[in-house]
Amino acid sequence: MAGVRVTSVDWQRSGNGAAHHTQEYPCPELVVRRGQPFRLTLDLSGDLDSEETLIFTVETGPKASEALHTKAVFQTAELEVGDAWTAVKESQTESSMSVSLASPPDAVIGRYQLSARASSRRRHSDRKLGEFVLLFNPWCPEDDVFLASEEERQEYVLNDSGIIFRGVEKHIRAQGWNYGQFEEDILDICLSILDRSPSHQDDPATDVSHRHNPIYVTRIISAMVNSNNDWGVVQGQWQGKYGSGTSPLHWRGSVAILQKWFKSRFKPVKYGQCWVFAGVMCTVLRCLGIATRVVSNFNSAHDTDKNLSVDKYVDSFGRTLEDLTEDSMWNFHVWNESWFARQDLGPSYNGWQVLDATPQEESEGVFQCGPTSVTAIREGDVHLAHDGPFVFAEVNADYITWLWNEDESRERVYSDTKKIGRCISTKAVGSDSRVDITGLYKYPEGSRKERQVYSKAVKKLFGVEARGRRTWIRRAGGRGLWREDLLEPATKPSITGKFKVLEPPVLGHDLQLALCLTNLTSRAQRVQVNLSGATILYTRRPVAEILHESHAVKLGPQEEKKIPVAISYSQYKEDLTEDKKILLAAMCFVSKGEKLLVEKDITLEDFITIKVLGPATVGVAVTVEVTVVNPLLEKVEDGVLMVEGSGLLQGQLSIEVPSLQPQEKALVQFNITPSKSGPRQLQVDFVSHHFPDIKGFVIVDVATAK
């Protein structure tokens, strides 16, 4: 007897999609999550005998094998058993059977081939039923990526848009980002990122077998999102010149970047900076089922020589000496956190893990960073895998300013120390507000606990006891040699200084500030003030000098004086970068050799408003009204609105803005037709060759069609 054959399968995509929270994926295959049953109905060529079972085979990757856990063979039973693949018979008719399949909660994720045969048929008569995709499962308590809160799962796994915080510590700005993990082809692209990694190219079968582990998968993705060392997704560029590609600030989301990489046969997409790398990595990890968020760290240290201090060298005008300054403090830096268990470190280090795809420093010979346990950073356990010292320094390093003299000697300069690692921020769950999560990374600045953690980190890093908060570990004259050297802090001078903004700094307008100097003593003092100003990138790298002047100031006892500082639009317009940032510095030389450096980071303001005129409903056109202003004192004729939003419109929309006279306001209307319900993010950028992009976004609540 030939036996019963399996003739076809109903994947029950709708029911399985709802149960597995995968109904938003538009791909033709079934998408399910590991550790959770999914139902199939199989059509049979006849009636199975009561002793007969169906034998299923699932396989993923090349050279799939049971030894590598990339293949499993299992048969229908009445009950689920253990931590293996199972098939439970739910019901049977003469010509069909409903079964419930389940993978173990630590199954390898990826695209699987499913085949089946009746137990009475020969081993090689398996019927290939098709492919399905298996993802990580934050809803499954036994999965390493399990996240207990449903609100957090909705935000960190299923939300396809978000907010990235940029700017400066005193002026944090929200930028919308379209993650778009459920857009066409994105799941395929995310799986192909894993397949393009050097680990996969070197040993595909072993690489696939490691894909059960979120530690392994996230580390691979952190390397593959940048293009250093491999054919990764995004190429970084921090020089302010983007002629051969797209400026990092032009991107509004990850979808266009990932699709471009895929369609160009894996050619790195030009260009990205930190928030672009973080936005793309968030898309990939949410798509694969790992709860992930984007985090911004203000005054972020890039400690190249790993001595827990950022050393900045300046000249007598407070200008950064680029050739001497290897370390840097960025206005902000953006990375990711993903939520999973650390089976390699132990349960105390479960939870949020730092991952950073921005190519800053190599780790194990590759530009990758993380996963680093946030708890380990807070507790000073910097010796634990992976990349603890670098992340610890990003939020804890000290910022030291040195005056470099013409005779090549150097001396400490008192500066109202920029505290590293401020206002660490992420988007709130279920709303657009900013949440400060600095307390997850470190204890309160200056507290006893913070000093203890710093000392512990120093001991783990350098094997020396920290003498108080300020043990300085410095490179000796010969590179690569270490010595311990307790530096005396710079003498606190007898004057104070601060830049005050007299009018809000607006793009296209003149800047009006004052340097306020106060004599703290009861005697008169003379102060030599050297002022400089430069347009900068968000990494605080100077682009062009726009101010250079000196003042001799006499301060009476306890007197405060204001030195006016004016920078006209014509002074900065040619050299302003798309970051819209200017750095002012005043190096003050007081009698008795005292020195004071006063700095001010300025971000220029701009203006755009977006209104949705009326209720938004799936399948019904609704009008959007955008108000823009020409920020310049000259005519602008090439203005365009660039519009994007997952579930609100297909791809991107480009709308011409009428010619605008200097500082003229314009209203522009257009229609969108939402395709998905729920809160949706609409991004609108006002773009012109004459000024940096002016970016805005609005959340549109879309109702289901009645």
What pLDDT band is residue 489 in, cutting at 50, 70 and 90?
low
Checking DSSP bridges between strand 269-272 and strand 234-236, what pairing results, if any? parallel
Place of tokens 């823009």: 628
Q: Tell me what pLDDT residue 463 has.
A: 79
Alpha helices in 225-363 (DSSP H): 255-263, 274-288
- For 151, other C-beta atoms within 10 Å of its C-beta total 10
Residue list, annotated binding site: 396, 398, 445, 450
CA distance 114 to 105: 18
pLDDT higher than 60, residue 481: no
Which residues fall within 8 angstroms of residue 240, CB to CB, at 6 or more apart?
537, 543, 577, 578
**pLDDT tens digit string along 330-372?**
999 999 999 999 999 999 999 999 999 999 998 889 999 999 9
Q: Which residues are catalytic?
A: 274, 333, 356
Express as a percent the part of the chain with pLDDT over 90. Answer: 82
∠ at Cα 690 (689, 691), nearest 5°? 100
Which H helix or E strand runs over 14? helix 13-20
Q: What is the dihedral angle through the alpha carbons of 474, 477, 479, 480, rounded to the nearest 10 degrees?
A: -50
Q: Tell me what pLDDT residue 240 has.
A: 81
Q: Tell me what pLDDT residue 239 has.
A: 86
pTM of the model: 0.94
Long-range contacts of 472-481, Cβ-Cβ distance < 8 Å, separation of 24 or more:
472/307, 472/309, 472/398, 473/307, 473/308, 473/309, 474/307, 474/309, 475/305, 475/307
Place of tokens 């109903």: 10
Buried-exposed string 286-304: b where 16+ CB fall within 10 A, e elsewhere? bbbbbbbbbbbbbbbbbbb
The better pLDDT of the pair 121, 551 is held by 551
Q: Tell me what pLDDT residue 417 has.
A: 58
Helix count and strand count (H, E) for the chain:
13, 40
CA distance 576 to 568: 12
CA distance 249 to 276: 8
Please compute Rg for the chain using Cα positions: 29
Segments of 45-85 assigned E as strands: 54-60, 71-77
**pLDDT tens digit string along 288-302?**
999 999 999 999 999
Long-range contacts of 448-452, Cβ-Cβ distance < 8 Å, separation of 24 or more:
452/380
Residue list, annotated binding site for Ca(2+): 396, 398, 445, 450
Burial class (CB in 10 A: 0-12, 13-18, 19+), 638: exposed
- For 514, other C-beta atoms within 10 Å of its C-beta total 16
Q: Tell me what pLDDT residue 484 has.
A: 40
Residue 588 identity: C
Alpha helices in 210-301 (DSSP H): 214-224, 255-263, 274-288
Q: Tell me what pLDDT residue 446 has.
A: 84
CA distance 706 to 704: 6
Residue 244, token pair as written in the block: 């051969």
Q: Tell me what pLDDT residue 418 has.
A: 61
**pLDDT tens digit string along 594-649?**
999 999 999 999 999 999 999 999 999 999 999 999 999 899 999 999 999 999 99
∠ at Cα 629 (624, 631), nearest 5°? 150
The answer to whether the beta carbons of residues 110 and 134 sit under 8 Å apart is: yes
Question: Phi and psi of 188, rounded to 5°?
Answer: -55, -45
Residue 191, token pair as written in the block: 């799986």
Q: Which of 72, 53, 68, 69 is nearest to 113 (CA)?
A: 72
Residue 255, token pair as written in the block: 């979808």
**pLDDT tens digit string along 152-204?**
999 999 999 999 999 999 999 999 999 999 999 999 999 999 999 999 999 99
CA distance 385 to 402: 34
Residue 575, token pair as written in the block: 């050299």
Q: Tell me what pLDDT residue 4 has.
A: 87
Q: Tell me what pLDDT residue 474 has.
A: 44
**pLDDT tens digit string along 224-274?**
999 998 889 999 999 888 989 999 999 999 999 999 999 999 999 999 999
Sign of CA dihedral 230, 233, 239, 242: positive
Q: Tell me what pLDDT residue 571 has.
A: 96
pLDDT higher than 90, residue 461: no
